[in-house]
Amino acid sequence: MIGGGQLANEATQASTFTRRAMLLSGLQIGVGALLAGRMTWLAVAENERYALLSESNRVNLTLSPPRRGWIVDRYGTPIANNRTDFRVDIIPSRLADPDQVIANLARLLPLGEEEVTRIRTDLKSAAGFQPVKVAENLSWEQFAAVSVRLPELPGVAPTRGFSRNYPQGAAVAHLTGYVGSASAEQYQETKDPLLVTPGFKIGKDGLEKKLEPLLRGKPGAKRVEVTARGRLVRELATRADTPGRTVRLTIDAGLQEFAARRLGPESGSVIVFDTLTGDILAMVSMPAYDPNGFSDGISRLEWKMLSEDDHLPLTNKSLQGLYPPGSTFKPATALAALGAGVDPTRFVYCNGGYQLGNRRFGCLGRHGPMNMHTAIARSCNTYFYTVGRQVGIDAIAAAARKLGFGAEYDLPLPSQRYGTVPDTAWKQRRYNQEWTQADTLNAAIGQGYVLVSPFQLALSAARIASGRALTPRLLATARQPIPLLDVAPEHLAIVRGGMDEVVNGAGTAVASKLPLPGIRMGGKTGTAQVRRIVDRLRGQGGDWKYRDHGLFICFAPVDQPRYAASVVIEHGLGGARAAAPVAKDVLTYLFDKPKAMESLSRFETQWGGDIPTRMAVKARAFAATQPGTPEAAAAAAAQAEAARAAAEAANATVANGSAPGETR
């Protein structure tokens, strides 16, 4: 019995072992089949994908910044181009002793503490093959000093590239804008690796910003083979960059620079139109910054100086400045009156003002009998109070809009402001108030709620001169037909006649007659109050920021207008005094450049030099007021030396037996 039981147990155990062996074998076969299937899938179906990943680990692509497209004027003269840029980078994978290399570079270039810290930080986060910027815009001497010491500087790579250059400097700053490195937000938005490529810069303001897609170009690339640790093995191939497109403007670069220089130390704007085409020939806002310095990166000190300047060099006054137009608005009121049937030969007697109820609205003088022609010429407020009240604000607003006021235009420039052309509906919508007769009187002479930009002033002059609804053009693209202005030609002729008298007859700007035989300029002066002034100066004195603005619009020649312009001088005291002389020289430049340049030379001698010279002097003076700067230290030393010399002179005088100031 015992033997039989043992046989049964052995049989059972053998059966159990066989089942376990079969189960394990099945599992092994299943796992093997799964692995084989997976390997087959990876080797066949996923072969291309992993081959590419492997290749990308072995081969790296380094982008090189594209050359930026040029911006040129109507004649092909460069306004923004590219200059050779010497720079030094570090290739992290080639560095043997980072501390020693950085110390040597800091001595050769030289580099400040902030730059050294920035380089160390960039090296820690950079891939082995990715260049890290050390310095750019180096002089040839600095570049050569690094190049000849390359055996002592493993990992350092001096390269020659291109940087943005603005030949006219500050004269074109608000027109072109500037370029700079892309921000972190811009990179996060697109994840474009070009944005973080050393040396690449994008448009930050002005035309550079708005025309970025045209100007950018396509980057070049260099393929290199690297090890798993990122060390360079060899260079495989290089693809050249594709430069950006050249953009041609309607601007006359010579006129642009002249107008900027002619503004001198004033804060203001000059805009010039071609009345035949609507082309913008000049658009200047001064003072301004140097876009070359901005593109390279300005210091905190320079930024502080610009941002604290009460002349607002960072603001494009041509498009963003808004001013009461003053008497330069009177041609619009005159056209509204003519359109409403007012007889231009009718006389209005000016006794020095206009009485509305118990309030008197003053005039600039006692002009006596005035018709439309003489009222424009002598800028009689009383006449325009009278006809303005007669036709009403809605008619005046409609005429102003026909001339281009209160509108925004399709220009490749940012931050354009369209101002205010008020009417009855506007005041109700804005203030929930009814329009009053007093509001009409103020608006009729360009005060009150009326606000315009210098650009709109120039366009109004161009439309009056041409009789056409000119559309402003800044890009030299195909021209479109220009329709006639919706104003009777005879009405425009009456207004042009009055503006001719302003300069060439018994008007307010006779001192600014063109010094050119046979060429007359028509114009209209304007003085705009900054605030209501009740003291005796009435905006004609006191602190600069409280003085009246000076404005002037003009066109020439009167008989066949070809050019129109506006000049605004902030706090210039008056249009005849400050703005009209600038307009005279700007238009003279268009007809006789040598004569205009001769006049400019005399002015710049009085002002202390050209724009770069004056900007440098101003920067040094500002730096001398800032604690901790070398200029401040030098100024303090000079002051101490002067005090010491004065003390010695006083002691010597006393020693000689004379009191200070006494003559023996």
Better-scored residue on pLDDT, 179 or 664: 179
Do 268 and 189 fall within a single domain?
A: no
Q: What is the mean pLDDT of residues 173-178?
A: 96
Do 403 and 538 fall within a single domain?
A: yes
Q: What is the mean pLDDT of residues 308-327?
A: 95
Res 430: pLDDT = 95
What's this model's pTM, rounded to 2 decimal places? 0.84
Boundary-marking domain end, from 593, 626, 654: 593
Whether the pLDDT of residue 495 is over 90: the answer is yes
Res 117: pLDDT = 85
Res 8: pLDDT = 57
Q: Which of 407, 138, 460 is nearest to 271 (CA)?
A: 460
Boundary-marking domain end, from 540, 573, 593: 593
Q: Which of 392, 415, 404, 277 is nearest to 328 (CA)?
A: 404
Res 46: pLDDT = 57
**Does the residue 26 lie in any domain?**
no
Structure tokens, 69: 């497209």
CA angle 316, 317, 318 (to 5 degrees): 95
Cβ-proximal residues to 209 (8 Å cutoff; 6+ apart), any chain: 177, 202, 203, 414
Whether the pLDDT of residue 553 is over 90: the answer is yes
Most confident range, picked from 37-41, 342-346, 657-661: 342-346
Res 527: pLDDT = 93
Q: What is the DSSP letter of 199?
A: T
127 pLDDT band, cuts 50/70/90, is: low
**In this structure, which amino acid lies at residue 387?**
V
The pLDDT > 90 percentage for the chain reads 59
The answer to whether the CB of 488 falls within 8 A of the CB of 339 is yes
How far is CA 191 from its chain centroid? 27
Do 216 and 318 fall within a single domain?
A: no
The number of domains in the chain is 2
- Radius of gyration over alpha carbons of the chain, in Å? 37
Whether the pLDDT of residue 338 is over 70: the answer is yes
Do 203 and 271 fall within a single domain?
A: no
Whether the pLDDT of residue 201 is over 50: the answer is yes
Res 273: pLDDT = 98
Structure tokens, 79: 């306004």
Res 113: pLDDT = 82
| 590-630 residue pLDDT tens | 999 999 999 999 999 999 999 999 999 999 999 999 888 88
Res 541: pLDDT = 60
| 248-265 residue pLDDT tens | 999 999 999 999 999 999
Q: What is the mean pLDDT of residues 81-93?
A: 85
Q: What is the DSSP letter of 575?
A: I
User: How many other C-beta atoms can be found within 10 angstroms of the C-beta atom of residue 386?
Assistant: 21
Do 292 and 409 fall within a single domain?
A: yes
**Host H or E run for residue 248:** strand 247-248
Q: Which of 438, 472, 479, 444 is nearest to 457 (CA)?
A: 472
Res 664: pLDDT = 37
Q: How many helices (H) and strands (E) does the chain have?
A: 25, 19
Structural domain including 116 reads 60-248
Do 214 and 354 fall within a single domain?
A: no
From CA 509, how far away is CA 575, in angstroms rounded? 8
From CA 240, how far away is CA 308, in angstroms rounded? 44
Res 116: pLDDT = 85
Do 351 and 319 fall within a single domain?
A: yes
Burial of 181 (0-12, 13-18, 19+ CB in 10 A): middle
**Out of 208-212, 234-238, 493-497, least confident range:** 234-238
**Does the residue 228 lie in any domain?**
yes
267 pLDDT band, cuts 50/70/90, is: very high
Three-state SS string across 440-497, please?
A: HHHHHCCCCCCEECHHHHHHHHHHHHHCECCCCECECCCCCCCCECCCCHHHHHHHHH
Helix extents (H) in 343-453: 372-378, 381-391, 393-402, 424-431, 437-444
Do 561 and 579 fall within a single domain?
A: yes
**Host H or E run for residue 585:** helix 580-591
Better-scored residue on pLDDT, 635 or 289: 289
What CATH number is associated with residue 388?
3.40.710.10
Q: What is the mean pLDDT of residues 158-170?
A: 90
**In this structure, which amino acid lies at residue 375?**
A
Q: Which of 396, 513, 415, 514 is nearest to 455 (CA)?
A: 415
Q: What is the mean pLDDT of residues 237-253?
A: 91
Boundary-marking domain end, from 578, 593, 608: 593
Do 86 and 100 fall within a single domain?
A: yes
268 pLDDT band, cuts 50/70/90, is: very high
| 9-50 residue pLDDT tens | 666 666 666 777 777 777 778 777 777 767 776 666 555 555
Do 267 and 412 fall within a single domain?
A: yes
User: How many other C-beta atoms can be found within 10 angstroms of the C-beta atom of residue 330?
Assistant: 29
Do 223 and 346 fall within a single domain?
A: no
76 pLDDT band, cuts 50/70/90, is: very high
Do 382 and 431 fall within a single domain?
A: yes
Res 419: pLDDT = 95
The answer to whether the CB of 427 falls within 8 A of the CB of 530 is no
**Does the residue 618 lie in any domain?**
no
Structure tokens, 133: 């910027």
Q: What is the mean pLDDT of residues 321-334?
A: 97
